[in-house]
Chain A
Amino acid sequence: MNPPPIADLTDVSFTYEDGTRALDGVSLRIKSGERIGLIGENGAGKSTLCKHLNGLFHPAKGKVLIDGEDVAKSKASHLARTVGYLFQNPDHQIFKSTVYDEVAFGPKNIGLRDNEVADRVERYLELTGLSDLAKSPPLMLSFGLRRMVTIASVLSMEQRLIILDEPTAWLDYGQAVLAKEAIRGRLASGAAMILVTHDLQLVAEMADRVVIMSGGRVVADGDAKKILSDPDILMKYGLDPPPLTKLANELLSEEAASEIFAVADFINAVKKKKWKASK
């Protein structure tokens, strides 16, 4: 028998107190280890959807199962063992007086033993390049470093599903590389990911499946390469295709363009002269 999907949403609808219908019949099944890029215009319902996955919201209609368990019957603080959520603004969570304690907060909350907490904190500080800052007050760090602290503090909980809301925004190049490596480490050990971002190049690098939301609905769901190489569908939902996709679709044959996700792919196709037939 297959293991149950890590997250299973059936026909979920949600309306805010003020009457805004933010989700309208969303169904989505996420298998263990899947890497999803969740994209869509501002206001499409991405954050509202994610808050249903860790129990911050309960669906007004429909059902959300996490690891086979009905979310409506458990608390967000309990679901935190299974689902991690990196929020956009690091300042919404930092409150401890040292980086070390800040990262240890989550693992302690989910009841890990002291030696295991220490082990995790040290490992994730190392991975995010923060080991030397372990004793520094996190609030005094630069915005990029504060973001790195929160990445470490979510990853160190080692949940089976991690939701990342713009994890690399405001990071400098070196920090972004480290952050992506640390996230890939978690994915390599089987965690599933939902990456919410406006940066489609990041989606191309990190995701194998893409879900597009618009007006509270899932309007496209499929293979990342297929969707990201199709400028028409992206633009239809107000998304800006990665520069490489635009370039490939302008210059290369349709077939070749659908294979371009990294600069190396593009160079290869050019070397093999897969140009678009001139009209």
Chain B
Amino acid sequence: MSLMDMYVHRDTPIHRLDPRVKIILAVFLTIFCFFLSNILLLFGLFLLLQLLILSTGVSIKRYSSSLWLVGRFALIFVILWPFFDKTGETVLLDLSIYKVTLESLLRSLSLALRILVMASGWFLLLYSTTQSRLVRGLVKLGMPYDLGLSLSIALRYIPHFIETMDMIKDAQVSRGYEVDSGGPWRRVRNFIPVLIPTFVFALRTSEGISASLVSRGYGASPVRTYHRDIRVRHTDAALITLIVVSVPSAIILDLMNLISI
């Protein structure tokens, strides 16, 4: 499974959207998730995003393993939450230091959903947008070209780094090295044989990328021309308006407690 590039080669309505629509959606969802806590709304949004993501034609196998990378964090939150939040009336489980109440469970679930919704917005963008359109969109939204390019490359490489780190850990364990033993400080130090190759891998990768960019004429001319420029169509404009209007109003409604469970 190559995670180097998340883009799914298809031609779906989501693919055809102006990249700016999807960028704005991802950014707004990220902001939205900081404010919104209504679990029903989050859940509905999550389901809607899953439908949209699957409509990009990404294979369920590939998508579920990407989602699981994020899902792991969400799950850890839900599991650890009762250690820190013991408030609430309806007690579901009480082991003194680990007390689960209905209210705290809902709070942790809403937190987990926020993480998943946030990630889903970015998945939707990355699955359905080629690198060149992504950069083009970012630049048109006002980002400097170099930064836009670096960001889009970085986003695409994150899963690859995680995968590589797992492989490096396997290689060192196979040489008789114990990574997961000892107290917390030991464990941090134990990680050095994994971190150094990961770091070197990152350097070599970025060296490789920049060499291949330069060899294809990156930075040769101060003024860039674009092979295929992006243009906002009516649907795109309508969607941008919808996102820009609906997301903040949902937040306001939520803050005013107008939609409550």
Tell me whether A and B are bound partners. Answer: yes
CB of A93 within 8 Å of the partner chain: yes
Contact status A87-B167, CB under 8 Å: yes
Can you list, as one digit per residue, whether each of A200-242 has a CB less than 8 Å from chain B (1) or not (0)?
Answer: 0000000000000000000000000000000000000000000
Which of B65, B174, B177, B197 is A56 in contact with, Cβ under 8 Å?
B174
Contact status A56-B170, CB under 8 Å: yes
CB of A136 within 8 Å of the partner chain: no
Can you list, as one digit per residue, whether each of A77-88 has a CB less than 8 Å from chain B (1) or not (0)?
Answer: 110110111010
CB of B218 within 8 Å of the partner chain: no
Which of A20, A110, A139 is B61 in contact with, Cβ under 8 Å?
A20
- List residues 3-26 of chain A with CB under 8 A from any CB of chain B: 16-20
B161 shortest CB reach to chain A, Å? 13
Q: How many residues of A contact B (CB 8 A)?
A: 32
What residues of A have a CB within 8 angstroms of the CB of B192 in the complex?
Answer: 95
Residue from the set A17, A76, A84, A139 with the largest chain B CB neighbour count within 10 Å: A76
CB of A32 within 8 Å of the partner chain: no
What residues of A have a CB within 8 angstroms of the CB of B175 in the complex?
Answer: 80, 93, 105-106, 109, 153-154, 157
B229 shortest CB reach to chain A, Å? 38
- DSSP class of B's interface residues: helix, strand, loop or mixed? helix
CB nearest neighbor in B for A163: B174
Contact status A93-B168, CB under 8 Å: yes
Can you list, as one digit per residue, whether each of B164-179 has a CB less than 8 Å from chain A (1) or not (0)?
Answer: 1001101111111111
> In whole angstroms, how far apart are the Cα atoms of A91 and B200 in the complex?
8
A96 shortest CB reach to chain B, Å? 9
CB nearest neighbor in A for B173: A76
What residues of B have a CB within 8 angstroms of the CB of A85 in the complex?
Answer: 171, 174
> In whole angstroms, how far apart are the Cα atoms of A179 and B168 in the complex?
23
CB nearest neighbor in A for B72: A17
B10 shortest CB reach to chain A, Å? 20
Q: How many residues of B contact A (CB 8 A)?
A: 25
CB of B64 within 8 Å of the partner chain: yes
> In whole angstroms, how far apart are the Cα atoms of A80 and B170 in the complex?
11
What residues of B have a CB within 8 angstroms of the CB of A92 in the complex?
Answer: 164, 167-168, 170-171, 197, 201
> In whole angstroms, how far apart are the Cα atoms of A94 and B200 in the complex?
9
A54 shortest CB reach to chain B, Å? 6
> In whole angstroms, how far apart are the Cα atoms of A18 and B178 in the complex?
27
Residue from the set A56, A77, A94, A154 with the largest chain B CB neighbour count within 10 Å: A77
A191 shortest CB reach to chain B, Å? 16
> In whole angstroms, how far apart are the Cα atoms of A109 and B62 in the complex?
37
- List residues 46-104 of chain A with CB under 8 A from any CB of chain B: 51, 54, 56, 75-78, 80-81, 83-85, 87, 89, 91-95
Contact status A77-B193, CB under 8 Å: no
> In whole angstroms, how far apart are the Cα atoms of A20 and B60 in the complex?
11
CB pairs A–B below 8 angstroms (23 shown): A17-B65, A17-B68, A20-B61, A77-B177, A81-B176, A84-B174, A87-B174, A91-B204, A92-B164, A92-B167, A92-B168, A92-B197, A93-B171, A93-B172, A94-B197, A95-B200, A105-B175, A105-B193, A106-B176, A109-B175, A139-B200, A154-B175, A157-B176
In the complex, besides A77-B177, A93-B168, 19 extra interface pairs with C-beta distance below 8 angstroms are A17-B65, A17-B68, A18-B62, A18-B64, A51-B170, A56-B174, A75-B178, A76-B170, A78-B176, A80-B173, A89-B167, A93-B172, A93-B197, A94-B197, A95-B196, A106-B175, A106-B176, A139-B200, A153-B175
